Structure 1
Amino acid sequence: MRRLRTHPKLRDLVRETHLRPDDFILPLFVRHGENQRVDISSMPGHAQLTTDLLADEVAEIEALGIPAIILFGIPAHKDAVGSDAFDDVGIVQQAVRAIKSAGLKLLVMTDVCFCEFTDHGHCGIINEKTGQTDVDNDATLEILVKQAVSHARAGADVIAPSGMMDGMIVALRQGLDEAGFTHLPILSYAAKYSSGFYGPFREAAESAPTFGDRRTYQMDPANGAEALREVLLDVQEGADMLMVKPALSYLDVIQSVKQAHPSVPLAAYNVSGEFAMLKAAAANGWIDEQRVALEVLTSIKRAGADMILTYHAKDACRWLTNPG
């Protein structure tokens, strides 16, 4: 076996998994205001940006060869139903228009959920009539549709619902179609786990729940077969693409989903906690960040992901282009 490892060019020729800049989707956080770049302490190199800074930011992203971004918004005002999320002049809608006005070919995806927009930090409308404070699934579907249609009107290229509401894909497909957006694809967060790896994102998106947790609608990390049920439902409801989130601790789930649905494009989200761990270890001199980050991203691709949402996207593109 060692004969095929003797020369670096030979190793390249027999390499089974290839990592490229066009595998990546970069998450961006947008906020109201002007000329503000608010650094995210737990995610070095990332910040909340005001819309006037987006043109330069996305130009750099496109120049690196990254084909797509996904937007997360931080509103100026939060309320019980997250009304800024479906306001045509809401922060995400403004950001989409600002990016589109830059005239780039970059694909603009939008996260469709409410945790950043509600004053309670949960992913939908709270139903307290049941005697157990929880998200009202069906009431939330109605406002999810409003949010998605509003994003579509702003010019979003892909809608990516992340709230893990039952029936959200069929509701969104019907709502988008009725509004005239039959062409708009849906990237479903089909298997999203209730994970401890989301900590830094909660800071970045200012979306931590004010009470309870999200275990009643996000998946139990112990369950693998359940992910296949979730994914199958979303495929049957009309999802165009699927996602597993997080990625690194769920490589087995990525592989299982890809094997079950080989013809459906599959994304994996290399989430904030996974990113922050590598940054912290590298800052302490414990690991070589470039080597380990590329190894992590390669493992996600090897497991079956066709595309990777990752905060390492910019650095990974530079490393892949100039490996020295």
Structure 2
Amino acid sequence: MSPGPLSPQLKLTLRSLFLACSNCKTKFSSASADSLCGACRNSDLPPLPQASTSDPDLLRAISLSLAGIQHLARIPETLDKVLEHLSQPSHSQLRLGKNKRPPPSPPDSPGEHPSPSDEEGQVLSAEDSDQDLPDPDIDTPRTQGEVEGLIQAVLNTLNIEDDSPSIEPAKNIFKRHKKSSCLFPAYEQLDDIIKSQWKNPDHRVQLSKRFTQTYPFPKECIDLWSSPPAVDPPVSRLSRNTTIPVADAAAFKDPIDKRLEGFCKSSFTASGSAFRPIFAIAWMAKAMEVWVEQAAQLIGSEDPTTDNILSQIADATTYIGDAALDAARLVAQASAHSVAACG
């Protein structure tokens, strides 16, 4: 009678029993579950790993890994602090409410996102916070809303009504119309200044004594701006149609060339002289900024210098208005001479 099939449990038991040492071939007195005898087992044991201090990089990496594991438990607390920081208004938003001018948005970068491993809930470092603030030395362009607000304030202060034509009903009611914007008014007095210079383009530029006293600048600057450069007569004779002003007017034999030379010289003088009131406006406007800040700090106090500062601001605004008209008059002369030279 043949034996029946062995059960799986019995096969596993027989397969894991050894009758001799697999290393030294010494027979066991009885079946053993270990493949090595006691002598071979003691001699083949590998040495226990010793902690080595000769590899500082490995120890540093292990310490950083353990530190990261310790911070895992603080992730919920850090996230709560991050959300609380984001919900509070930043310094740039507080300045936005005062200055009404939004700072330029910084570019997106991976360094802007807070790290969960920041200690004590610190989200941004000192360098990151400095990068988020706008650079005061960079001019921020004005938005259309800011410019329109300034223009509307000027119109309201001077009691000037907006004479823009009313929008008539369009034939095509579904046509997209452009939004009407607030514009500076076309004042008749300003137009008369330009037209009066255009009527007499043959008049040479003659700076009055009032103009010289009102806009004093160093002599070297005045000569550089308003004195036409001189060219040697032999060089000017190379071209009859030259428009470069020369010191020797006799170099031009043709009366038309002489007349053209005079127009070009007057145009150069008028354009260069316009720099004087323009730069004077720039200096006066910068000083007015400081005076306005000082007056704002002194308003409400009994300091007697408040009246003096306000008087300076009033005089400066009058000066700026007169300088702007003088600059417009000189630019109109330059444009008139340019047209006359072309004719």
TM range (shorter): under 0.3
* Structure-2-length-normalised TM-score: 0.20
Higher relative contact order (CA 8 A, sep 6+): 1
The structure with more helix, counted as a fraction of residues: 2
